[in-house]
Amino acid sequence: MSFARTPGPAHDPGPLPAPANLADTATRERLTPAAVEGLVRLAEIWRLTSAEACALLGDVSERTWFRIKKGEWSGTLSQDALTRLSALVGIFKGLRLLFSESLSDEWVRLQNKGALYGGRRPLDAMIEGGIPKMLEVRRHIDALRGGL
């Protein structure tokens, strides 16, 4: 008698969907509205200044940022900006799983003595380090949660 179970449909989620092709203009146009909405909300929660929000996005001017916040911008985010946003949303979600809401929302603004941050705020480290640093921060948060 064998007790081994073969995973059935309820246990097998199947293959993961392929990541979105952010090099494709149509894909970026489709993802931009939700990404912009998420960005505006994240900027509110993290209390980002306009300069901080623009720096995190990489290639967005403050004038464009003000139009985005007012809902008056109908452009398409670049591959770079969407990649940055994906990392930031992952960081936000990971922090919410790790900490209380108040601490998770303040974490990016708190000085951090960890080697990854060198006594700086994670927000400043991500602004200075761009996408590579954002991905490092995301991996750090995921590791704290017991992921990766």
> What pLDDT, in 10s, does the model give residues 18-53?
788 888 899 999 999 999 999 999 999 999 999 999
CB atoms within 10 A of CB 14: 6
Q: What is the pTM of this model?
A: 0.84
Query: What are the Cα distances from residue 62, in Å, to 95, 132, 136?
Result: 27, 23, 26
List own/partner pairs for 64-68 with CB under 8 A and 24 or more apart: 68/36, 68/39, 68/40
Q: For residue 115, give the nearest of 92, 143, 95 by alpha carbon.
A: 143
Tens digit of each residue's pLDDT (9 = 90 or more) over 100-124:
999 999 999 999 999 999 999 999 9
DSSP 76: -
